[in-house]
Structure formats: C-alpha cells, structure tokens
Structure 1
Amino acid sequence: MFTIPNILSFLRLLLVPVFLVLIVLAQDGYALLVLVVSSITDYLDGILARRLNQVSRLGQLLDPAADRLFIFAALIGLAVRGVIPWWLVAVIVGRDVMLLALGITLANFGYGPLPVHHLGKVATFCLFYALPILMIGQAFPAAAWITAPIGWAFALWGAFLYWWAGFIYLAETIRLVRIPRVDAQSESDTLGR
C-alpha cells in the first residue's frame, strides 16, 4: 500500500482541494502550479510503478480517481467564477453519473467494470488540456485571445467524445445484461477452467 507510486497518487488526491480553492479564489497562477505538480507526480507514479514493479490494484484505482477529481475541481471552480457555463459541468458530470449507474448494473449482473475504450481516453485527454488552457487565459489575460478558442475547442470535443464513449459503454452494458443468466454462468464457468 505504501509504495512510492501510491504515495505520489495520495499526494495528487491531497492537492485536489487545494487546486479547487485556488481556482475559486481566482489564484489561477498558483492553481496552474498545483496542476503542473500534479501532472509531474502523475507521470512519475506511472513510470515508477512499472520500473520498480510496484503496479498495484490500489494504484490502478487511485490514478484515475485523482484524474477525475482534478477535472471535477476545475469544472466546478471555473463554473463558480463564470469562466465556463454550468451546462458544460452538467454534460460532463452527467456522463460520469451514467457510467456509475452502468457499473452498478454490471455488478448486479455479476460483471466487473468494462475495459476503457480509446474514445474515453481521447475525451479525457481533451478535457485535461481544455481546462488548464482556459485557466491560462484567466491567469494571463493577454493570452486569452489564443487560449480561449483553443481551450473551448478541446472542451467541446472532449464533451462530445465523452458522451460518444458513454454510449458505447451503454450499448455494451445492454448487450451483457441481455445474456441469459444460465449462459453467463456457464460462460464464467468455462472461462474459469
């Protein structure tokens, strides 16, 4: 549990509320600095986990949780300040609520989480860039003429791809839960042998 990669992931989780407070208080330069530190620790925990052979289930859960929390913190902080509209927050959070419901449904039918689709990764990538780029325009208003269109392009593409991937997850969940329970049980028995 207390491996170097997991400690770095815990550090990232601890930085989320600091990041949120800095955004809400319009301390965008400091918020960007926290984001840079978080990005470096994110990069390092992945490399160290592989190089030190310390890949763990806990680390596999902490890393995406920290990523999601940073996105949510940025969304909420920027929406509170009026930098982004609340509808964008609702679009992105709504998709994650849908995925939570799908995960519960899959668990009730005896399935684990679905594998991450490449569209979901691309969408997260877009959102990871959109929000800091928009923050750069807030921290350095002279750059807003270039950061605003680029940030919004990433944000809108990210939201679109986020939902596209969400519909793929929805279709796969529907397909799995329609498999008769007997077939699903015999399939899992066959896989276990």
Structure 2
Amino acid sequence: MVDGQADRPGLGPVLTVPNLISFARLLGVPLFLYLFLGTDHTGWAVGVLAVGGLSDWVDGFAARRLKQVSRLGELLDPLADRLYILATLFALTFKDVVPWWFTFLLLGREAVMVLCLVVLRILGHGPPPVHYVGKTATAILLMGFPMMLLAHFSSAARSWALPSGWALLWWGIVLYWVAAVFYFIQASVHVRAGRAAAASAP
C-alpha cells in the first residue's frame, strides 16, 4: 500500500471524545429527518441542522487537541458529513426548499467521488486523505442548508436568509467540485506511486 495514513491497519480506539462527537453527529441525521419530515417542529429541525453544521470541525479539533486521532475517527468524520449533506439535500428537495437541479449538481459530484474510490479499491488502494478544501466546502454547505430552511419557513427572515443561503450554497458547491478535482489528482498520484513501487520491486 502506498496511501500512508489512509491504509493503516485497524480502526484504533473506539470510545474516544472525538469518536463520541462523531457518533452524536450521526444520530443527528435521523433526528433531523424525523423532525423535518415527520412532525411540524420545523424550528427544532433547523436547530438540529445548524448544530450539525457548526459542529463539523469539533471532532477533528478534539482529535488533534487531545491526541486521540484514530482510523475509526478518520472514517466517521467524512461519513457524518456526507450523511448530513445527502439527508438534508433530499429532505429539502422533497419539500421544494432546494431545486432539483442543485440536487443533481451535488449528486453528480458524489458519483464522481464514488467512482474514484471504487477504482482505487480495485487497484488495491485506500481512499486518499480528506482535503481541507473538501472540509471547507462541507462546512459551507452545512451552513447554507439551515439558511435555506429558515428562508422557506420564516417570512420575517426570508429577505436576508434566502440570499445568504444561496450565496453559501453556490460557494459550497463550487468548492465541493474543486475538492473533487483535488481528490482525483491525489488518487492519480497514489496509483502512479503504486505502479512505480511495483515496477522497482525485485
């Protein structure tokens, strides 16, 4: 393996502070869907979504601060991010808060990423490390979605929440695609390095 950190064996410690934060963020996904789609508590749904977005950096910060970085945490953090984005995207699209074309634009990026990861796995490589551009794009999107939700259900906030929400979503989706390009470049480097190592092996 040539992916370094991404290919370390084992998941490391489980019950760490950053992992517990990631687990809590994962639990927030079904809670948001229940509040938004199954009840009339839209305000609480906005709150859960906002907390999930604002806490995006907390687990990584805690892992570095407490020196509790683990392979499990490296998997849970992007998993929580993707589940928040996809669950929120489908829920908001279903309720006509976000248009379908934006949904397809974001899902197209996810399809590119999945294809890239599948190719890497077939070639015997793990996923490339999370890029800071991707993390930034995720955080921006997770701030934009609550703004759009607030604009849709609060006439008093619509005048400022709607343009703010669209500004964040456009900024986020552009960076999201830029991050996909970076991941593709990283994947290409891993594949070339693997081939070079195999060619030089006795």
TM over 0.5: yes
Deviations 1:89-144 (A, max 9, x none): 12112211211110121122233322333432332232122111112223422111
Contact preservation (8 Å) 1:92, 1:159: yes
**Residue 6 of structure 1: aligned partner:** 19
How many residues are aligned here?
A: 188
- Among candidates 112, 133, 149, match of residue 163 of structure 2: 149
**Structure 1 pair 26–186 and aligned structure 2 pair: CA distance change class (3 A):** farther
Q: TM-score, normalised by structure 2?
A: 0.78
CA RMSD of aligned residues (A): 2.7
TM-score after normalising by structure 1: 0.81
Question: Any unmatched runs of 5+ in structure 2?
Answer: 1-13
Question: Would the alpha carbon gap of residues 116 and 159 (structure 1) be closer, same or farther in structure 2, given more than 3 Å must change?
Answer: same
Structure with more helix by fraction: 1
CA distance in 2 between partners of 1:40 and 1:157 (Å): 17
Q: Which of 1 and 2 has higher RCO (CA within 8 Å, sep 6+)?
A: 2
Task: Give the aligned partner of residue 8 of structure 2.
Answer: none
Per the alignment, do residues 141 and 165 of structure 1 end up closer, same or farther by CA in structure 2, a change over 3 Å counting?
same
1:35-74 deviation line (CA, Å, top 9, x unaligned):
3443566555344433443222111211221111111121
**Aligned partners of 2:69, 2:154: CA distance in 1, in Å?**
39
Partner of 1:21: 34
Alignment of 1:76-155 (within 5 A): 76-155=90-169
Matched, 1:165 2:185: no
In structure 2, C-alpha distance between the alignment counterparts of 1:125 and 1:39, rounded to whole Å: 6
Q: Return the letter of the residue paired with 1:133.
A: M
Residue identity (%): 41
Unaligned segments of structure 1, at least 5 residues: none
Cα distance 1:133–1:11, how it changes in 2: closer, same or farther (>3 A)?
A: same
> Which residue of 2 is the match for residue 49 of structure 1?
63
Query: In the alignment, residue 32 of structure 2 is paired with which amino acid?
Result: F
TM-superposed CA distance for 1:172, in Å, is 4.4
- Contact 1:23–1:78 (8 Å) recurs in 2: no
Give the secondary structure class of the aligned counterpart of 1:142. Answer: coil
